[in-house]
């Protein structure tokens, strides 16, 4: 009987789990598509390439979707049990709530273990593949998005307009107008053609455009004085076919720089991140030691030699500043003031370096710790969800979903706030990575205790009866009109 009951509980849990996970995963992936939309459009990517890139980018989504799915599924499962009085029937049969929760607890434990290994082994590899794919896209397919009927200045040094763009990859053009961007003292050139076509160039740094049936209008103005420019007739050259090459290396360089592949910590697992953290600590200590040395050297240029030099004569006590003449006193104070201001300015210049240094260290540490902390979040969310579901005894997508979303928003806000504080250097990054779990864990244990003791936590009548004496004390008794 117990084994059948365990199977029934797990089966009931997996129904909403699969549905909720699919919906949430789709929503988060759509968010990624919306953010990355500019990188997909106008580059001639096939559907397979886009799907492959999205699969790489969406791996990180599982870290947030899985805990939230467990929270929602647990609330809905135990809410359905309570609403259909199945929970009461199980308890009447002598089965405690702890025993009912046990199979789902082990199921959640398996999901938690899966999330740990997925975040540690799969996500870094997918992040590396996504970055490499974006790098290759930037190198081979620069961002040239032409809008029909509008002047576009994406090609360096030119302003172009195409009346119509067609073809599978937008390679066929109709109504081409190309204007060289130059000052009034430089050579002027405009090209007008009825049709055109983009053709792959041998050199990827150049954009090859073949034009048909058009004219080239030129004015040779560079190095010519004003009077000769006024006498010079316009030059028009008719062509049947014209092959033009436009240098787009600047666009490619910018795209490559934006997607430059480095030794990104997001490509590493926990063991590799340990080495990265050690190297970051060593580098930070060296930077701080150099900064301390610079400050000491600026304050007293001879302080580094005090310990190495033994005075041959006895040094008298330094003179008190109050005993110095007024003019000399002013010179000393002014010199000290300038020295302090110089030290302050030099330290201010180091602020951005120190912030970047600490921010990078905090990001690496939090990235490493979250591989484990998000796995523990699954267990905490199960405790919260199963307890809330058994207390409110409401299933479906109503109140349980509202409560689950409120809990997740609290977790997300705590996570984001702790992250920003840690990056600013006001919180230890290890504490920041675990802070949401440390706050929600006592809440989950308290809710579990309330559920095990059959607490009427969400019973409105209970709160009405609690506040009724207070309300009656501050309200006037209203007699019925018939007794007046």
Domain ranges of the chain: 2-139+359-465, 158-247
For residue 259, pLDDT beyond 80: no
> Is the model's pLDDT at 262 over the cut of 70?
no
- Rounded to two decimals, the pTM is 0.66
SS (HEC) of 20-43: HHHHHHHHHHHHHHHHHHHHHCCC
Of 93-97, 134-138, 370-374, the least confident:
134-138
pLDDT over 80 at 187, yes or no? no
Check pLDDT > 60 for residue 42. no
Q: What is the DSSP letter of 120?
A: I
Top mean-pLDDT range of 231-240, 345-354, 420-429:
420-429
C-alpha distances in Å from residue 408, one per residue of 27, 71, 101, 403 = 15, 8, 21, 9
Q: What is the DSSP string of 126-192?
A: HHHHHHHHHHHHHHHS----PPTTS-B--STTEEEEEEEEESTTS-EEEEEEEEE---TTS-EEEEE
Residue 44 near residue 105 (C-beta atoms within 8 A): no
Whether the CB-CB separation of 386 and 104 falls below 8 Å is answered with yes
- Segment among 78-92, 224-238, 468-482 with least mean pLDDT: 468-482
- Which pLDDT does position 302 carry in this prediction? 47
The band of 115, judged by pLDDT with boundaries at 50, 70 and 90, is: very high
SS3 215: strand
Planar angle of CA 280, 128, 124, nearest 5 degrees: 70
Query: Is the pLDDT reported for residue 458 higher than 60?
Result: no
CA distances from 43 to 72, 173, 245 (A): 39, 16, 19
Q: Residue 338 — pLDDT band, cuts 50, 70, 90?
A: confident
Average pLDDT over the chain, rounded to an integer: 77
pLDDT above 70 covers what percent of the chain?
Answer: 69
Average pLDDT over residues 333-339: 74
> Does position 339 have pLDDT exceeding 90, yes or no?
no
Percent of the chain scored above 90 by pLDDT? 8
**Higher pLDDT, residue 304 or 172:** 172
Q: What is the mean pLDDT of residues 227-251?
A: 73
Q: Does residue 43 register a pLDDT over 80?
A: no
By mean pLDDT, which of 142-156, 432-446, 470-484 is the weakest? 470-484
Which range has the worst mean pLDDT, 168-177, 203-212, 304-313, 394-403? 304-313
Q: Is 322 exposed, middle or buried (0-12, 13-18, 19+ CB in 10 A)?
A: exposed
Mean pLDDT of 61-72: 89
- CB 284, CB 361: distance < 8 Å: yes
Assign 377 a pLDDT band (cuts: 50, 70, 90): very high
**What mean pLDDT comes out for the span 312-329?**
60
pLDDT at residue number 110: 94
Name beta bridge partners: 238.
215
312 confidence band (pLDDT: 50, 70, 90): low
Q: How confident is the model at residue 108 (pLDDT cuts 50, 70, 90)?
A: very high
378 — pLDDT class (breaks 50, 70, 90): very high
Asked if 423 and 444 count as a contact pair (C-beta separation under 8 A), the reply is no
Judge contact between 208 and 243, C-beta under 8 A. yes
Query: Which range among 174-183, 190-199, 458-467 shows the weakest confidence by mean pLDDT?
Result: 458-467
Say what the pLDDT of residue 474 is: 67
Mean pLDDT for 346-356 is 70
**Of 212-221, 242-251, 315-324, 448-457, minimum mean pLDDT range:** 315-324
Q: Which of 101-110, 231-240, 373-382, 473-482 has the lowest mean pLDDT?
A: 473-482
């Amino acid at each position: 009987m117990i084994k059948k009951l365990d199977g029934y509980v797990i089966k009931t849990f997996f129904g909403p789990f699969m549905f909720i996970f699919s919906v949430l995963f789709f929503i988060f992936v759509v968010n990624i598509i919306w953010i990355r939309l500019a990188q997909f459009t106008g580059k001639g990517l096939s559907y397979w390439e886009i799907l492959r890139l999205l699969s790489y980018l969406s791996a990180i989504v599982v870290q947030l979707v899985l805990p939230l799915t467990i929270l929602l599924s647990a609330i809905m499962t135990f809410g359905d049990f309570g609403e259909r009085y199945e929970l009461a029937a199980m308890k009447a049969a002598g089965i405690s709530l702890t025993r009912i929760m046990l199979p789902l607890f082990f199921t959640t434990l398996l999901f938690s273990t899966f999330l740990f290994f997925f975040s540690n082994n799969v996500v870094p590899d997918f992040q590396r593949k996504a970055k490499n794919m974006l790098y290759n896209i930037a190198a081979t397919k620069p961002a040239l998005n032409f809008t029909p009927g509008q002047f576009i200045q994406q090609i360096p040094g030119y302003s172009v307009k195409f009346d119509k763009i067609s073809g599978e990859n937008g390679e066929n053009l109709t109504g081409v107008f190309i204007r060289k961007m130059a000052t009034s003292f430089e050579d002027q050139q405009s090209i007008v053609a009825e049709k055109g076509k983009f053709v792959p160039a041998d050199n990827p740094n150049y954009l090859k455009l073949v034009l048909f049936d058009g004219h080239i209008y030129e004015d040779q103005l560079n190095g010519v004085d004003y009077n000769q420019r006024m006498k010079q007739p316009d030059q028009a050259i008719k062509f049947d076919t014209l092959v033009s090459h436009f240098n787009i290396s600047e666009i490619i360089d910018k795209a490559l720089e934006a997607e430059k592949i480095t030794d990104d910590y997001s490509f590493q697992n926990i063991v590799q991140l340990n080495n990265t953290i050690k190297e970051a600590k060593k580098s930070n200590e060296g930077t701080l030691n150099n900064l301390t040395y610079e400050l000491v050297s600026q304050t007293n240029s001879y302080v580094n030699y005090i310990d190495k030099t033994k005075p041959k004569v006895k040094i008298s006590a330094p003179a008190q500043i109050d005993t110095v003449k007024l003019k000399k006193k002013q010179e000393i104070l002014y010199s000290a003031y300038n020295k302090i201001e110089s030290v302050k300015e030099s330290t201010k210049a180091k602020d951005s370096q120190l912030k970047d240094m600490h921010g990078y260290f905090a990001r690496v540490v939090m990235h490493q710790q979250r591989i484990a902390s998000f796995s523990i979040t699954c267990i905490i969310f199960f405790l919260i969800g199963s307890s809330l579901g058994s207390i409110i005894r409401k299933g479906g997508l109503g109140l349980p979903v509202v409560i689950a979303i409120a809990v997740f928003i609290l977790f997300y806000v705590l996570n984001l706030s702790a992250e920003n504080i840690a990056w600013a250097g006001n919180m230890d990054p290890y504490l920041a990575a675990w802070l949401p779990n440390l706050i929600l864990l006592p809440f989950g244990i308290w809710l579990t205790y309330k559920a095990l003791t059959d607490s009427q936590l969400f019973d409105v009548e209970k709160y009405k009866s609690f506040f009724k004496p207070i309300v009656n004390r501050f309200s006037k008794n209203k007699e019925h009109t018939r007794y007046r």
